[in-house]
């Protein structure tokens, strides 16, 4: 009888020790995860601080250049028209970069807040594609890059009345063309191709530049990181470009993929569905689309 009682107590003790060991192991596991979370939070705060610093510089520096150049123009005499034209050209260049940077900063801010709205309308894709190329005309000419445009309409006219969010598609086009031109070699080629069907569009932007090193490919969508000479930035500083493209593709229920061909360069593929205007705004005046995922 006493033996049975001792065996029972021993069994309870063993079970208790096992439970305690499992509990301690679980606590150690949770502590490790908490440590990792805290570390990532600190890294994120540091990255955002660095990001804000870069953004500030990129807004202040163009403004400072514009002010200085305009002051110098005002001081020129009437016979210095050539100098005035050169300075005006520099002002135009600085203003172009500033305009583009601010547009993307505001887009990133709206995405980060989770309050970005989708506004569908009918879009002429051929006109939009041409306008985007004209927008970068000076950058394309300065680098002597050949941009090949191709539009294939398999939709019985939907390319001239494609229903989507015009502003967001324009930003996607600008982002991808800007990066393709920037990272092409001087005198290189960029292929900008659109294929439109009754269900959606497929966009392919291909350059033949340096490409992205394999070790950095997981980071190119990170809004707060700069990879390989700012591979994912729009212009000369902040890593917004591809993160905005990815977020906008999500908002428009599309897809984004990148390929790195063996012969060099980068190819970005975007698929966007054809939206239905009749389904929009039935009772959505206060509806907010939350991107959900942070990049």
115-167 residue pLDDT tens: 778 899 999 999 999 999 988 888 899 899 999 999 998 887 788 889 999 99
Which residues lie closer than 8 Å to 62 by C-beta, 6 or more apart?
A: 94, 95, 97, 98, 101
pLDDT at position 216: 62
How far from chain centre, in Å, is Cα 286?
A: 26
Question: Which has the higher per-residue pLDDT, 94 or 285?
Answer: 94
Q: How far apart are CA 208 and CA 226, in angstroms?
A: 21
pLDDT at position 288: 47
Residue 50: pLDDT band with limits 50, 70, 90: low
Q: Is the pLDDT of residue 225 over 60?
A: no
pLDDT at position 74: 73
Q: Which residues of 51-87 are buried (b: 16+ CB within 10 A; e: fewer)?
A: beebbeebeeebeebbeebeeebeeeeeeeeeebeeb
**Strand runs labelled E in 197-239:** 200-207
pLDDT at position 114: 76
pLDDT at position 51: 55
pLDDT at position 130: 92
pLDDT at position 125: 92
Which residues lie closer than 8 Å to 153 by C-beta, 6 or more apart?
A: 159, 196
Q: Taking a C-beta distance cutoff of 8 angstroms, is the pair 242, 221 a contact?
A: yes
User: Structure tokens of 96?
Assistant: 């172009």
Nearest to 84 by CA among 71, 99, 102: 71
Structural domains for the chain: 121-279 (3.30.565.10)
Q: What is the pTM of this model?
A: 0.64
Q: How far apart are CA 17 and CA 3, in angstroms?
A: 21
Question: Which has the higher per-residue pLDDT, 46 or 112?
Answer: 112
Q: Taking a C-beta distance cutoff of 8 angstroms, is the pair 188, 209 a contact?
A: yes
CA distances from 272 to 23, 186, 256 (A): 49, 31, 9
């Amino acid at each position: 009888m006493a033996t049975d009682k001792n065996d029972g107590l021993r069994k309870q003790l063993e079970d208790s020790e096992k439970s305690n060991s499992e509990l301690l192991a679980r606590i150690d596991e949770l502590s490790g995860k908490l440590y990792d979370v805290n570390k990532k939070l600190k890294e994120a705060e540091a990255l955002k601080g660095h990001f804000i610093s870069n953004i500030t510089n990129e807004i202040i520096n163009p403004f400072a250049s514009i002010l200085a150049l305009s002051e110098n123009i005002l001081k020129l005499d009437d016979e210095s028209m050539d100098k005035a034209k050169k300075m005006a050209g520099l002002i135009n260049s600085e203003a172009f970069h500033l305009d583009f940077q601010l547009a993307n900063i505001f887009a990133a801010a709206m995405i980060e807040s989770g309050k970005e709205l989708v506004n569908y309308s009918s879009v002429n894709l051929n006109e939009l594609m041409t306008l985007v190329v004209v927008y970068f005309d000076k950058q394309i000419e300065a680098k002597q890059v050949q941009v090949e445009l191709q539009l294939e309409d398999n939709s019985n006219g939907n390319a001239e009345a494609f229903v989507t969010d015009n502003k967001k598609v324009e930003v996607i086009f600008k982002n991808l063309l800007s990066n393709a031109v920037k990272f092409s070699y001087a005198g290189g080629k960029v292929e900008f191709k659109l294929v439109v069907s009754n269900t959606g569009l497929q966009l392919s932007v291909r350059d033949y530049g340096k490409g992205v090193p394999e070790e950095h490919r997981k980071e190119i969508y990170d809004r707060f990181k700069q990879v390989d000479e700012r591979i994912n930035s729009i212009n000369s500083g902040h890593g917004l470009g591809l993160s905005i493209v990815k977020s906008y593709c999500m908002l428009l229920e599309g897809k984004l993929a990148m390929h790195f061909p063996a012969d060099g360069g980068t190819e970005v593929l975007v698929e966007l569905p054809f939206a239905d205007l009749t389904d929009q705004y039935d009772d959505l005046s206060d509806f907010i689309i939350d991107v959900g995922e942070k990049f």
